[in-house]
Structure 1
Amino acid sequence: MNLDVTLGIPERLLPGFLDGSYERIGGVVREKGSKKVVAWLRENAKNQAALSDSSVFSSANAVTSNVSNVVNNLSNVASILNLAVTTMGFALVLKRLGFIEQQLEQAQEVLQIIDYKIDLSFYANFRAALDLACNAFSMSNPESRKMSAMQAINRFLEAEHHYTKLADKEIGNGSQVADEYLATLCLAYVTEARCYLEIEELDTARRRLQEGATALRSRFEKHVNTLLTSNPAAYLHPSLKEQVGLKHLTEIYQWLNPGVNENDVFDMQRENLFILAQQPEEWINSLPQAIRIPKIVNQTKGLNELAKQSKKFIGSLPGKISKISGSNTGSQESLIQSSEMEIYNNLPVAMELMGSMVENYNRLAMYESEVETIHRLGMSFQEWQQLAPPSSSQENDSELIYITVSEE
């Protein structure tokens, strides 16, 4: 077997891209039918700083710019995870974790308006575990290195248990911060696996990634279904046609059920379209917090504006939350009418969020494939990590590195 490492799409893969027989799932390119992996992707280290500085999230634009014209992708999605576990270093995880924590702090300022509290207490422990891991792998003594690594792993296991409980609670509440806890949980599993990789425990790393993906799949599915709302046809509302279309909705449904196509999804929503047009108030009354209160998608936006917008929805929230605001039945109807279009305006952000969640899960799930490949090729993690394109191609400014295996 020969390993080929290139910047940009290898020429021998172009036919598969052009005829649509390849698909990208997370950090791999594979055949649609057989699911055989034909290439592993990773960010170009030369451009990694620029990618990280432009957005704390690792953007999938690098993938879509090269592949999306010939492979069906969720477009312009962002992920808290890189394409390859190889590039998920502890310093990078620390930066991503800080961004999640900042998002939660901003969300807390808005959610306290409706007396809804979120838990930020454990992030300091997670950061301490990352510091411990960084120190462990800077040690030269193998025994000390492994001992410290196991201590860090125990901390990451604690984080997994803690954030699983928090994620389950927020998913159950239909909360707007559930995805942040799911993203944190992804980071906890990845950092645990990365520790095992650093000490060359490939089998254990692979097993833990597999267990993490299995544990997270149902939780991601549940929150995606929450964001689809009781009537997913709302995402096909005429006012959203420039931002959300049947293609976007189909991509989400294909992740939930790989056998469906656009025609299937449209047929599923035929009756829902008429129900929504005739009884929009029933749909509005059923909406979870994650849809009613918009997420902060741009940190430069003023918090006061967002808080004012959130207050508009409080009166129409069912149950305990509406009582907090002192709303009455007479005012709810007018609030529903006045906020209907504002709620529709939140749906494009919700669709982007679903795309990001799907991307997060796919990348995590494909990390197992990456580790399995390292093991199958008889390589160490350090050897795999050091794979790089030929020096003659360094002038290529591609943001992606393609790793392919050819058999002789």
Structure 2
Amino acid sequence: MSAIGFAVVISKLNQIDSRIQNLQASISEIKNKIDRSIFAKTRSAIEVAEIALKMSSSSSRRRLVSEVIQPLLEAEHYYQAAWDSDWNEGNCILSREYILILSLVYVTETKCYLELEEHEMALKRLAEAEEILKPRIRKYVKLLFEDPSGYLHSACQGVRPSSILEILKYVTAESNVDKLFDEHIRTAIFNRCSIESWTDSIPLRSRNAILALVAPSLVGVEWTLWDRMPWNTGARREVILGLMSRANQVIAAAQSMIELHRRLEGYRHEINEMVRLGLSFREWQDLVLPPKSSSEDQDSKILLLLPA
């Protein structure tokens, strides 16, 4: 966690913001639900935290870090409620984006407490992050793979059954790969359903979540593209097959969410180790980060610690 640079955090926020705006542009029904001012305040709080942690004066760092914690807490409450609303209403269009924003906010808040040498509070906040995010991550990944058989269709180019199995291990908490293969992969191979019946069978919220990843412009709250076009038209079939050819984007999103789940645990272990060694946050950073004069590519390490 100490290797996370704020420049990369801001870059991730920019990516999330861009995706949200793309979704907003195509869904008039949810425009009023996206409070741009909240996002702006969240980004501002993270940027202030970045400034604070770069200050040479210890007293100035602590003062500014203390001030930024409140807006971070407000952002956590807002985006948790936003996720719950998006999920409970069955839209699931912005589920991933809310999870990613929450993860970046919690990581920033944790770093603020570490700067204040409030290690117990940092661990407490990180424990809350895990409690809030992990079940939502699992729900989201399960949503993408409500029926994994469709991803084995020939239209889903380059999808590996092994990747699907790893995701199913996470979703089902089943470690027996042979059992998962028999229940999900073998059945799909020998009883291959048509792509039409598969897309018609998965819940609307699953369709929306998938479309939000592969074709944001086609997402709708009360409709999806395949609901508007009869299957006997060649155009509809071609569009659906084209969307399924991007199935690897769905696989990658699921894998990224699973990795985020694991990174949260890694952050907690890192702080526990820092406390065990009796090191301050600054001392820990000096220990795990390459020197500022080093030519080593720090971004390559930083990116490993952030959600995609």
**TM-score, normalization by structure 1:** 0.62
Flag the 1:347–1:225 CA change in 2: closer, same or farther, 3 A. Answer: same
- Paired residues in the alignment total 291
Cα distance change of structure 1 residues 263 and 325 upon mapping to structure 2, 3 Å threshold? closer
User: Which residue of structure 1 lines up, in the alignment, with residue 11 of structure 2?
Assistant: 95
| Residues 243-322 of structure 1 aligned to structure 2 (within 5 Å) | 243-269=158-184, 270-272=186-188, 277=193, 280-281=196-197, 283-287=199-203, 288-292=207-211, 294-295=213-214, 307=217, 310=218, 320-321=222-223
Q: CA deviation at 1:378?
A: 1.3
Of 348, 353, 361, 2:261 maps to 361
User: For residues 191 and 250 of structure 1, what CA distance do their matches in structure 2 show?
Assistant: 33
Q: Measure, in 2, the Cα distance between the counterparts of 1:236 and 1:326.
A: 22
Q: Measure, in 2, the Cα distance between the counterparts of 1:283 and 1:325.
A: 8
* Equivalent residue number for residue 246 of structure 2: 346
How far apart are residue 232 of structure 1 and its match?
0.9
Contact 1:198 1:381 survives alignment (8 Å) = yes
Cα 1:126–1:233 change in 2 (3 A) is same
Within-5 A mapping of 1:2-401: 85-112=1-28, 115-117=29-31, 119-121=34-36, 122-138=38-54, 142-172=58-88, 173-229=90-146, 231-240=147-156, 243-269=158-184, 270-272=186-188, 277=193, 280-281=196-197, 283-287=199-203, 288-292=207-211, 294-295=213-214, 307=217, 310=218, 320-321=222-223, 327=228, 331=230, 333-334=232-233, 337-387=237-287
In 1, Cα distance between equivalents of 2:55 and 2:195: 64
- Structure 2: how far apart are the matches of 1:220 and 1:228? 13
Cα gap change, 1:375 to 1:96, in 2 (>3 Å): same
8 Å contact kept, 1:206–1:371:
yes
Indicate the larger mover: 375-384 or 256-265.
Answer: 256-265
Would you say the 8 A contact 2:214–2:243 is kept in 1? Answer: no
* Residues 136, 338 of structure 1: alpha-carbon distance in 2 compared, 3 angstrom cutoff: closer
Shift of 1:108: 1.9
Asked if the contact 2:62/2:115 (under 8 Å) is kept, the reply is no
After superposition, the C-alpha distances for 1:222-241 in whole angstroms (9 at most, x for unaligned) are 11111113x2111222333x
1:167–1:125 CA distance, 2 compared to 1 (3 A): same
How far off its partner does 1:86 sit?
0.6
- Contact 1:171–1:178 (8 Å) recurs in 2: yes
Q: Distance in 2 between matches of 1:146 and 1:244?
A: 49
For 2:137, the aligned partner's letter is F
Partner SS for 2:92: coil
Shift of 1:168: 2.1
Measure the CA separation in 2 of the matches of 1:248 and 1:196: 37
Is the partner of 1:260 in helix, strand or coil? coil
- Letter in structure 1 aligned against 2:175: V
CA distance in 2, matches of 1:252, 1:326: 28
Distance in 2 of aligned mates of 1:141 and 1:234: 57
State, as a whole percentage, how many aligned pairs show the same letter: 28
Shift of 1:390: 9.0
Which is further off, 282-291 or 175-184?
A: 282-291
Root mean square deviation, CA, Å: 3.3
How far residue 97 of structure 1 moved from its aligned partner, in angstroms, is 1.2
CA distance in 2, matches of 1:337, 1:395: 52
The structural deviation recorded for 1:217 is: 0.8
Cα contact 1:167–1:181 (8 A) shared by 2: yes
Q: Unmatched 5+ residue regions in structure 1?
A: 1-84, 297-305, 402-408
* Greater fraction of residues in helix: 2
Q: Deviations over 1:122-160 (max 9, x none)?
A: 111112212332343355665554343222111111010
Q: Show structure 1 runs of 4+ deviating over 6 A.
A: 394-398
SS of match in other structure, 2:41: helix
1:148-176 per-position Cα deviation (integer Å, ceiling 9, x unaligned): 32221111110101111122233343434
Matched residue type, 1:194 = K
Higher-Rg structure is 1
Unaligned runs of 5+ in 2: 303-308
| 1:192-244 deviations in Å (ceiling 9; x for gaps) | 00101111212211221121012111101111111113x2111222333x521
User: How far is 1:188 from its partner?
Assistant: 0.8
Compared CA separation, residues 389 and 347, structure 1 to 2 (3 A): closer
